[in-house]
Every structure is written in C-alpha cells, then in structure tokens.
C-alpha cells in the first residue's frame, strides 16, 4: 500500500487547475519518511513548475538544484543555483523533522508529506500579469492536510491532525506576513521573469542564442 501511494503521489503530485487565461508558478516538495531504495524514487524531491512545465529539480541523492530548461541555465547565474541548492537542502531538513512529528502524532511509521506553494496570475492585454491567487498547501499520504487561505490570511486544517499546526501557525504573525509577501510579491516577480522567456516574448534569434 505504501509503495502504491508513493507512485501515485510522484506521478500526479499536488495539482491546481488554472483557467485558460491564468498562468502559474508552483514549487512542489515531496518527502518520504524513509528511503525505500527504489529506482527513480528519492527520499526528498523538489520541482519548480512554470505553467505546468518543469523548470528546475532537486533530489536527496544528487543534492544539487539544477535547471531542466536550457533557457534557465543560460539566463541565471551560478550564484542563483548555489543559493537554490542551499535552500533546497534546508527544506529537506525541515521536512525530515516535520514528517517525524506527524508520524508520532498519528502513531504511524512510513508515509509521504508534500507541500506546494506558488502563485497564479491573469494575463493582461499589454502582456503583463496581475496576481490572481496564491497557493500554499500540504498533503499527507495523498490527502489534503493543511492550506493557507490567502483571502482571509489564515491556515485551514483539512483533518483533525492538522489543527495543532493550524493554531500554532495562525499565532505567528511574521509567518502570515512572509507567506502573503511571497505569494503576492516574490512569486509574481519570478513568474514575470521566467514567463517572459518561456513564452517566446524574446525574438526568435534571441531564443536560439539562449538555448544553444
């Protein structure tokens, strides 16, 4: 049952259905409570998705964040990937600690914790993007666990086991401010930068040069 859960989670992951006019930038993190030692399945993975296109990747075996699109490698400096690697390694440790907490709370021993956060935006006639909504949600063994209601700026517990985390996080004002700041500002800045290249708003000659 556990291995089936892993395959389902890594095959589909957390997904958000965007409207035709919407664009999205999401990061999906998947942590297993132990290394199952199966080909292609890692104890921790992190993926960047721009309009459902994989743009960067990290896993616990390679321990390096690297580009999955040629334009990402060409456009972003080495320092970006170095800092990104450090960030992913830090998140890997955060997941390791918190999945252990969840297992103790639920009296379980081998499971999967996922987190997806990012933003969605509507395109405008002038080519710019306007913030539509933020996404910050957690699942445990493929079931909704906890998500951030960006309209009301509160965490919502989808199951009883998540209520303790909701109460704790709701009382941390800095966390709420950081979450909103990331969703509405930082995520949107990255979306505008990444999407500008990905959607061909550069000239055809420039794209060829970037991807060569």
In tens, the pLDDT along 108-130 reads 566 788 999 998 888 777 767 78
| Mean pLDDT for all residues in the chain | 77
- Predicted TM-score (pTM) of the model is 0.75
- Per-residue pLDDT, averaged over 195-205, amounts to 44
pLDDT tens figures, 23-77 = 888 999 998 876 667 777 788 999 998 888 888 999 988 999 999 888 777 777 8
User: Please, what's the b/e burial string for 119-154 (b: 16 or more CB within 10 A of its CB; e: otherwise)?
Assistant: bbbebeeeeebebbbbbbbbbbbbeebbbbebeeee
Q: Which residues contact 206 (CB under 8 A, 6 or more apart)?
A: none
Q: Which residues contact 73 (CB under 8 A, 6 or more apart)?
A: 67
Domain that holds residue 92: 2-211
Q: Compute the distance between CA of residue 201 and CA of residue 212 in angstroms, rounded to an integer.
A: 17
22-32 and 112-123 beta bridge pairing: antiparallel
Total domains in the chain come to 1
Find the CATH number of the domain harbouring 183.
Answer: 3.30.500.10
Q: Is the pLDDT reported for residue 145 higher than 70? A: yes
């Amino acid at each position: 049952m556990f291995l089936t859960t892993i395959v389902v989670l890594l095959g589909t992951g957390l997904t958000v259905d965007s409207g035709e006019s919407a664009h999205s930038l999401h990061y999906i993190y998947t942590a297993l409570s132990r290394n199952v030692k199966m080909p292609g399945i890692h104890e921790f993975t992190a993926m960047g998705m721009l309009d459902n296109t994989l743009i960067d990747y990290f896993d616990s075996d390679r321990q390096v964040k690297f580009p999955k699109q040629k334009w990402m490698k060409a456009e972003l400096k080495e320092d970006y990937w170095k800092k990104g690697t450090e960030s992913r390694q830090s998140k890997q440790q955060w997941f390791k600690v918190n999945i252990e907490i969840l297992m103790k709370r639920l009296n379980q021993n081998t499971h999967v914790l996922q987190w997806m956060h990012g933003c969605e935006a509507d395109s405008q006639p002038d080519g710019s993007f306007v913030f539509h909504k933020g996404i910050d949600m957690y699942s445990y063994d493929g079931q909704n666990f906890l998500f951030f209601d960006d309209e009301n700026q509160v965490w919502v517990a989808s199951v009883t086991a998540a209520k303790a985390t909701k109460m704790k996080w709701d009382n941390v004002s800095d966390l709420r401010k950081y979450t909103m700041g990331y969703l509405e500002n930082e995520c949107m800045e990255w979306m505008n930068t990444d999407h500008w290249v990905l959607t061909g708003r550069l000239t055809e000659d420039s794209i060829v040069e970037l991807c060569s």
